[in-house]
Structure 1
Amino acid sequence: MTTNTIKTAVEDMVRPYLDSHGFELVDIEYVKEGSNWFLRVFVDKEGGIDIDECGRISEFLSEQLDQNDPISVAYFLEVSSPGAERPLKKPDDLRKAVGKYVFISTYEPIDGLKEFEGTLLSFDGEQATVEIGKKQHTIPYAKVASARLAIVF
């Protein structure tokens, strides 16, 4: 199976459980680090997720993976919160992040920059506007390589 096929299979297994318990699936990663494979499932909910909830989701998903066996090699399963620097993968993630401090990188320079760290003022589905200092930058969504919440120091 390809990485994308595995991620889709895992999402199909875990999404009904998450939806029925009020959790949000933030991301799934299936990556090789050194000689080990890791299946990482990032989950959140309004007000944050705690370690006991991650444990229950991990137990459920582990049972599903054992029954359906979509991964042919040994791997480590990790279920966790996306953390303070949560990735903003989908347009809806950016909509929810309006008013928050973000980091956005682009595929090509916009206003001479490829990295933008500041307050997300707006996102209309097509463009994001980020304020850095007193200057506003409008970034076409199609040119966003990655986006995440950022920590203000």
Structure 2
Amino acid sequence: MSKKRIVDIAEELVMPVIRENNFELVDIEYVKEGKDRFLRVYIDHKDGITLDDCQKVSEYLSDRLDEVDPIEESYYLEVSSPGLDRPLKKDEDFERFKGRMVEVYLYQAVEGKKVMEGELLGLIDNHVAIKVNGHEIFELSRDKVAKVKLAVIME
């Protein structure tokens, strides 16, 4: 079964517990690392995520996955918060985090850089808009952007 299909099934199975607890489903990924496979579910909540929250979602999803059994090979299920460097995936993320510092990873360099850091201005016509160095504005086509995540600022 394709990775996308596994992710879609996992999303469908996990949504009842996500809705019931007013969590946000940030992302789901099914990846191979070395010889192991991982189904990772990232959840968030306006008040933050606790270990108990992760355990609740993990147990619920594990039971549903056992019933449906969509994954043929062995894998590890991990449920966690997205962390301080949360990825921005959905259109709503780009609106919610406007004004925050982000790191934008590009498939191909723009002005010699494959990673740009700047203030998120939002999405404009399916382009990620950021202000770099306080003045230079870049509008980067989403199909040229590998990932966008919140920057972790150390003070």
| Fold-level similarity (TM above 0.5) | yes
In 2: Cα distance, 1:2 partner to 1:128 partner: 29
**What is the aligned partner in structure 2 of residue 49 from structure 1?**
49
**What is the aligned partner in structure 2 of residue 144 from structure 1?**
145
CA drift at 1:21 = 1.6
Amino acid at match of 1:148: K
Deviates more, 1:92-101 or 1:116-125: 116-125
User: Which runs of no fewer than 5 residues in structure 1 stay unpaired?
Assistant: none
Check 1:45–1:113 CA distance in 2 against 1; reply closer, same or farther (3 A cut). same
User: Which runs of no fewer than 5 residues in structure 2 stay unpaired?
Assistant: none
**What is the aligned partner in structure 1 of residue 100 from structure 2?**
100
CA drift at 1:143 = 2.5
How many residues are paired up? 153
**What is the aligned partner in structure 2 of residue 122 from structure 1?**
122
Question: Is 1:39 aligned to residue 26 of structure 2?
Answer: no
1:29–1:40: 8 Å Cα contact kept in structure 2? Answer: yes
Check 1:125–1:97 CA distance in 2 against 1; reply closer, same or farther (3 A cut). farther
CA drift at 1:112 = 4.4
CA drift at 1:81 = 0.4
CA drift at 1:9 = 0.7
Check 1:46–1:142 CA distance in 2 against 1; reply closer, same or farther (3 A cut). same
Amino acid at match of 1:32: K
Check 1:37–1:128 CA distance in 2 against 1; reply closer, same or farther (3 A cut). closer
1:111–1:137: 8 Å Cα contact kept in structure 2? Answer: no
If the length of structure 1 is used for normalisation, what is the TM-score? 0.90
Amino acid at match of 2:56: R
Percent identical residues: 41
Check 1:20–1:124 CA distance in 2 against 1; reply closer, same or farther (3 A cut). farther
SS in 2 for 1:152: coil
Amino acid at match of 2:12: D
Deviates more, 1:121-130 or 1:19-28: 121-130
Deviates more, 1:6-15 or 1:90-99: 90-99
CA drift at 1:111 = 4.3
In 2: Cα distance, 1:47 partner to 1:125 partner: 31
In 2: Cα distance, 1:84 partner to 1:55 partner: 20
If the length of structure 2 is used for normalisation, what is the TM-score? 0.89
SS in 1 for 2:98: coil
CA drift at 1:122 = 3.2
**What is the aligned partner in structure 2 of residue 85 from structure 1?**
85
Amino acid at match of 1:93: D
